[in-house]
Amino acid sequence: MLGKLLKYEIKAMGRIMLPIYLVLIALSAVFALTMRLTIGKTAVGFLEKFAIVTLVLFVAAIIAACVMMLILVIQRFYKHLLGTEGYLMFSLPVSTGQLILSKLLTAVLWIVIGLIAGVLAGFAMVGILSSVPEFMKEVQNAWNSLFTQADLTRNLTLFVLVILAGVIASLCKVYASIAIGHQFGRNRALFAVFAYVAIGIAELIVAWVVSKIDASLGFRIFSGMSSSGLDLKNSLTAIGISAIQICIYSVITWLLLDRRLNLE
């Protein structure tokens, strides 16, 4: 049943995110192509202007993708699970855990696809801007070095894991906040925002208390929360902290949705 839930959730988010991502890649390609046409030419007034417009649109598309993703993550949970569509979703022969997991996994998937789309857009720009064979050589080199330099592979893996764990923890935090807000009959949205801020403050207090006990661990928690240290110990600490956050927030979300659901 989780597979079926995922199918519909991926479709529901994809019908909005996929076009944005495609526009993103297309704009980067158009920008790079236009810039290439200007190389070595003197009268490039129109082309230059066109390139600038495309670049502005490209940046706007990146911002739109980020904002839209945030809105969708909230909307798919707040409106489609805890709004009137909740009557459909919670009457399906599936468990509460499967419903939450389908939302989480789909959001992670579309965020990852977005990051890949961003990287592809970057490649498209660099690839078309530089002469193509040279670029391919660079890619080949990067690929080779990834598998010859142990450190690079390790660092890249760690980096991806830290980001992924952080993204999942952030999503769980949003879901828990919405589930807490759901407990308040009226002003559910407002209380969800309060809950999000309160959780943030609680996180800071915990980090501060830990830093009082063990200064170095405190630093790693702070760094784990704010950035992704590529040092093995720091990265593992950051992943560990994300894992703790994920456990706490998902248990809160599950308990509130399973035991204290009250659809409007």
Partner 1 sequence: MDTLLEARGLKKSYGNVAALKGIDLRLMSGRIVGLLGPNGSGKTTLIKIACRLLQPTEGQILIDGEAPGPVSKSKIAYLPDKDFLPDWMKTRQLLQFYEDFYADFDRNRALEMLSSLEIPENMTLRKMSKGTKEKMQLILTMSRRARIYLLDEPIAGVDPAARDYILRTIIGNYEENALVMISTHLIADVESVLDEAVFLKKGEIVLHKPTDQIREETGKSVDEYFREVFKC
Interface residues with partner 1 (CB under 8 A) are 1, 4, 7-8, 12, 15, 80, 84-88, 90-95, 185, 259-263
Amino acid present at 208: W
Question: Considering beta carbons, is residue 10 or 124 the nearer one to partner 1?
Answer: 10
Q: How many CA atoms lie within 13 A of 51 on its CB side?
A: 16
- Which single residue is written with the structure tokens 């996180």? 203
Collapsing DSSP to helix, strand or coil, 229 comes out as: coil
Of the candidates 197, 192, 194, the one whose C-alpha atom is nearest the C-alpha of residue 180 is 192
Angle at 99 between CA 6 and CA 87, to 5 degrees: 110
Cβ nearer to partner 1, comparing 94 with 163: 94
CA distances from 171 to 97, 103, 105, 206 (A): 15, 10, 10, 20
Rounded to a whole number of angstroms, the minimum distance from the CB of residue 84 to partner 1 is 5
- Nearest distance from residue 95's CB to partner 1, in Å? 6
6 versus 161: smaller Cβ distance to partner 1? 6
Give the whole-angstrom CA distance, residue 237 versus residue 167: 15
Q: Select 99 or 221, whichever has its Cβ closest to partner 1.
A: 99
Q: How far is the CB of 46 from partner 1 (least distance, A)?
A: 40
Compute the least distance from the CB of residue 105 to partner 1, in Å: 17
**Torsion from C-alpha of 15, 19, 24, 29, nearest 10 degrees:** 140
Q: Give least dist CB 5 to partner 1, A.
A: 9
* Rounded Cα–Cα distance for residues 135 and 128 (Å): 8
CB of 189 to partner 1, least distance (A): 19
Whichever of 36 and 80 has its CB closer to partner 1, that residue is 80
Structural element, H or E, at residue 95: none
Nearer to partner 1, 25 or 82 (CB): 82
